[in-house]
Amino acid sequence: MKEEEIVRKILKRISPSENEEREIMRTVDELRDKILEGATEKGMNVKVMLVGSVAKGTYLKNSLDMDIFILFPLHYSMEEMREDALRLGKEVLREWKIQYAEHPYIRGIYKKYDVDIVPCYDVKRMSEKMSAVDRTPFHTEYVKKHLSNKDEVRLLKQFLKGVGCYGAEVKIQGFSGYLAELLVLKYGSFEEVLKSSRGWKGKVILSLDGDDDKNANFSEDFVFIDPVDSSRNVAAALSPDRLEFLIFAAEEYLKNRKIEFFFPKEVEAWPLGKIRGQIKNFVGVKMPKPDIIDDILYSQIRKASKGMETMYREYDFHPVESLYHVNDDIIIAVKLKEKKLQDNKIHMGPPEKEREHAGAFLSKWGEADGVIRGPYKENDRWWVEIKREYTDAVMLLNNKIEELNLGKHLNELKNQAEIYEDGDFVKEKYAAFWTEYLSGIPPWEK
């Protein structure tokens, strides 16, 4: 399929029609009026502003969230601002829930649309900002002022979504919508962003202010300096793995342009028998999913998986990687080089000539429990053969899970955790997850 035909088909699927855009903006105006009316009745002197991709006109047709900010005067305390914004939100939204970022906001439904109502301060300059969300109105105004070709952003967002790299939330650790907009502003088009990604190697610092500053002081290897706040890296949430995968996907698309990069097919799950035959040396847990927001949940799951890896490493098991899956419950699995170890191991000591270290080694191991042989000298170095405390990976996890710090909410569910190995993970509800992992096929090749 030719590039022009692909682009035309994609834009038809992801861009709103004129009628849809008019309906969305009518809804925004209606919602804004209701919030202002409620604020006036309560004696609040606030402004209401549409921000985010809807305000900028870069939203995807089937992925639409309305972000409404209530701007409060600077004399409000954080507590007053929070309470008043939540009160206003509850009056206009249905099926609402309180969400938490730097401070609470409210998420719910207005008519058929998902809406976030967020409090922030009405600052006139970035130097006055009092919280991170105070930047958002400046981001919105900057993009509205400078971005001319919104379809290029839509194409980039859908591509990122299709290859699994869209979203700065902890669950994804990918490219935010704002970062996608800035990349198009810098490089001019979706296609040029993909071509430019070939040069994203080593320390990369991008900006919109002329030459990219290679000496800017950021700890991350991939940086896009925020044009409205030069102290901030817009790409701070982007993980090295997601960046690497996007670069790979971009190169593959440039070699062979096809619509599946934007709209991958659903995974066709393998039969359970085939999955069972390929799951070897996995040990982990299944536990209930706590009722907490995704950012906290996925942060704790990553903490738990890294904690398990560290534990296995300390006891001489060699973790290859860890992975997890979330649906109505959570599975966390660590793949090991082997699940069973020999009873004894040879432990290397210091060279004989390093008298101080050698003395400490002999003092420690000379009368220690579990020593099978030694300490003894071989090739001018001290050695000792000792009995391993654990030789079975499943038993180790079963005995040590109470000591592992899985994160606050997962720790509270340890008593409901089940220890799994290999075939225990093979269930129908996990089949698509394991198929995707074991096949190693990228989304556009499914």
Contact 410, 287 (CB under 8 A): yes
Contact 167, 242 (CB under 8 A): no
Please indicate whether residue 5 or residue 340 has the higher confidence score (pLDDT).
340
Classify residue 385 by its DSSP letter: E
Residue 358 resides in a domain? yes
Indicate whether 189 and 216 sit together in one domain. Answer: yes
Indicate whether 283 and 326 sit together in one domain. Answer: yes
Domain enclosing residue 202, as ranges: 147-264
- Look at residue 393 in the predicted model and tell me its pLDDT: 96
Range 51-73 burial, b when 16+ CB lie within 10 A, else e: bbbbbbbbbbbeeeebbbbbbbe
Residue 230 resides in a domain? yes
Ramachandran region, residue 61 (left: φ > 0; alpha: ψ -120 to 50; beta: rest): alpha
Indicate whether 349 and 440 sit together in one domain. Answer: no
The Cα angle at residue 59 between residues 54 and 65, in degrees rounded to 5:
60
- Look at residue 209 in the predicted model and tell me its pLDDT: 81
* pTM listed for this prediction: 0.89
pLDDT tops 90 at residue 336: yes
- 32-43 mean pLDDT: 94
Indicate whether 313 and 276 sit together in one domain. Answer: yes
- 279-296 mean pLDDT: 94
Average pLDDT over the chain, rounded to an integer: 92
- Look at residue 379 in the predicted model and tell me its pLDDT: 86
Indicate whether 247 and 112 sit together in one domain. Answer: no
pLDDT tops 70 at residue 212: no
**How many other CB atoms are there within 10 angstroms of residue 378's CB atom?**
11
- 58-78 mean pLDDT: 92
**How many other CB atoms are there within 10 angstroms of residue 366's CB atom?**
11
- 326-337 mean pLDDT: 96
In this prediction, residue 211 has a pLDDT band, given cuts at 50, 70 and 90, of low
In this prediction, residue 213 has a pLDDT band, given cuts at 50, 70 and 90, of low
Nearest to 445, CA basis, from 173, 193, 180, 248: 248
Range 236-259 burial, b when 16+ CB lie within 10 A, else e: bbbeeebbebbbebbebbeeeeeb
Q: How far is CA 71 from the centre of its chain?
A: 28
- 354-359 mean pLDDT: 88
In this prediction, residue 1 has a pLDDT band, given cuts at 50, 70 and 90, of low
- 58-72 mean pLDDT: 92
- Look at residue 128 in the predicted model and tell me its pLDDT: 80
Contact 283, 334 (CB under 8 A): yes
- 112-121 mean pLDDT: 93
Contact 336, 319 (CB under 8 A): yes
The CATH number of residue 312's host domain is 3.30.70.590
Number of domains in the chain: 4
Would you call 195 exposed, middle or buried from its count of C-beta atoms within 10 A (0-12, 13-18, 19+)?
middle
- Look at residue 425 in the predicted model and tell me its pLDDT: 96
